[in-house]
Amino acid sequence: MLLSNRLNSIKPSPSIAANALVVELRKQGRDIVNFTIGEPDLATPDHIVQAAVEAMQNGDTHYTAAAGTVEVRRAIAEKLQRDNQLSYGIDEIVVGVGGKHIIYHAFAATLNAGDEVVVHSPYWVSYPDIATLNEATPVIIDGDESNGFKLRPEDLARAITPKTKWVVLNTPNNPTGAVYTEQELSGLAEVLRLHPHVLILSDEIYEHFVFGKRRHLSLLNVAPDLKDQTLVLNGVSKGYAMTGWRLGFGAGPKALIAGIVKLISQTTTCPTSISQAAAVAAFAGDQAPVEKMRDIYAARRQLMMDLLGEIPELSCAAPKGAFYVFPNVSGLFGKRKPDGEKIQSDDDVVNYLLNEVGVATVSGTAYGMSPYIRLSFATNSDQISEGLRRIKDAIERLR
């Protein structure tokens, strides 16, 4: 067999695969409204682009330290203090080729065969597979729509065993947009304090996009005593519209950071020098563009919720953060498509919307929970209006 058992144990990222299908269908001439990808359609702010241009013009095009340049780690430390009231030294920060890169290396640096990684569903698609690739067992806690898809302390307590190495917490959440309150984080912290052998991945990549009167809180804001167990994950992809720049970071205990740096030195060597220079401008520079992006996403969120509200067969709570909606599609089950085939799952809904009206979505199954689909509103208002018009039309064709 050419490929390893380890590689054969996982599938390609469902959201990336769905977006790749959109690209292929568009090449074939299909008119597709794409709600699959969690990628801002907005441009990287000008001052960040200019910082990259200046770095290249000044010859800043060579290897850097494996952990990242001193300048970018210092900018991240200042950002964490300014935005999150968290204090880190530059030797407690590592910069990688995107947030996923940091997660992979954090798991690779710590997991042994038979270890367990606790993940709450609905989850970002890559958490369980990255654990599996590192010979650990993902332990999935099923979420519940009735409480906003949030992890409850009693469920967490039941899931942790002596084999647990990591617990993954994602707020604001992908795919549901759930945002944890101070009280909810405090409840989880009470459980985690009882298990000092457990590491905590606090994925805060969507921190800048919280809507209404809510605000983003890190677990460490309410439980600073858990700092020695926690890796805070963030980056520039979402908040600064820099997905293609590929730069994320982790902030955590020195020993864990050193382990991640060791692996990076043997894999990617370092993040690109140019992206690091741009990230300095992102973290340390003008934050007004981030506020503007938040306002744009808030308007798009409202538009998508208004249009979903016109489709009685779908139910959806308004997301508190990120840029996704996660509607329940069980109201479509049992209905028949124009060709007579019955819809029986969220995968069937996704395929029907794509084939019937050219709207691309991702099934809840990809995120560990049915019967839902995920729609991204990181696209322009015209596309949102057109896509929801098509979805409504497709549902009206069902019998």
| Tens digit of each residue's pLDDT (9 = 90 or more) over 278-301 | 999 999 999 999 999 999 999 999
In this model, does residue 14 exceed pLDDT 90? Answer: no
- Per residue in 220-236, pLDDT tens? 999 999 999 999 999 99
CA distances from 305 to 46, 124, 176, 181, 318 (A): 31, 22, 13, 22, 7
Looking at the DSSP assignment, which residues form a beta bridge with residue 210?
321
- Per residue in 255-280, pLDDT tens? 999 999 999 999 999 999 999 999 99
Helix (H), strand (E) at residue 155:
helix 153-159
Rounded distance between C-alpha atoms, residue 354 and residue 22, angstroms: 9
Give me the pLDDT at residue 19, please: 87
Q: Closest Cα partner for 96 from 277, 250, 221? A: 250
Give me the pLDDT at residue 12, please: 87
| Confidence category of residue 15, pLDDT binned at 50, 70, 90 | confident
How are the residues of the chain apportioned to helix, strand and coil, as percentages rounded to the nearest 5?
A: 45, 15, 40
Rounded distance between C-alpha atoms, residue 127 and residue 366, angstroms: 11
pLDDT (mean) for 159-179: 98
- Per residue in 345-374, pLDDT tens? 999 999 999 999 999 999 999 999 999 999
Q: Is the peptide bond before 172 cis (omega within 30 degrees of 0)?
A: yes
- Per residue in 109-138, pLDDT tens? 999 999 999 999 999 999 999 999 999 999
Q: Closest Cα partner for 312 from 323, 301, 328? A: 328
| Confidence category of residue 343, pLDDT binned at 50, 70, 90 | very high
E strand map for 79-146: 93-96, 116-120, 137-141
In this model, does residue 1 exceed pLDDT 90? Answer: no
In this model, does residue 175 exceed pLDDT 90? Answer: yes
Give me the pLDDT at residue 13, please: 87
Looking at the DSSP assignment, which residues form a beta bridge with residue 35?
none
> How large is the greatest C-alpha to C-alpha distance in the chain, in angstroms?
64
- Per residue in 83-99, pLDDT tens? 999 999 999 999 999 99
Mean pLDDT of the chain: 97
Q: What percent of the chain has pLDDT above 90? A: 93
Give me the pLDDT at residue 278, please: 98
pLDDT (mean) for 333-350: 96
Reading the block at residue 30, the tokens are 């299909």
* Domains of the chain with CATH codes: 5-43+289-396 (3.90.1150.10), 47-285 (3.40.640.10)
Looking at the DSSP assignment, which residues form a beta bridge with residue 137?
116
The single-letter code of the amino acid at 266 is Q
In this model, does residue 11 exceed pLDDT 90? Answer: no
CB < 8 Å & 24+ apart, contacts of 43-50 = 43/241, 44/240, 44/241, 44/242, 44/245, 44/278, 45/240, 45/241, 45/282, 45/286, 45/289, 47/281, 47/285, 47/286, 48/240, 48/242, 48/278, 48/279, 48/281, 48/282, 48/285, 49/278, 50/281
E strand map for 142-228: 164-170, 199-203
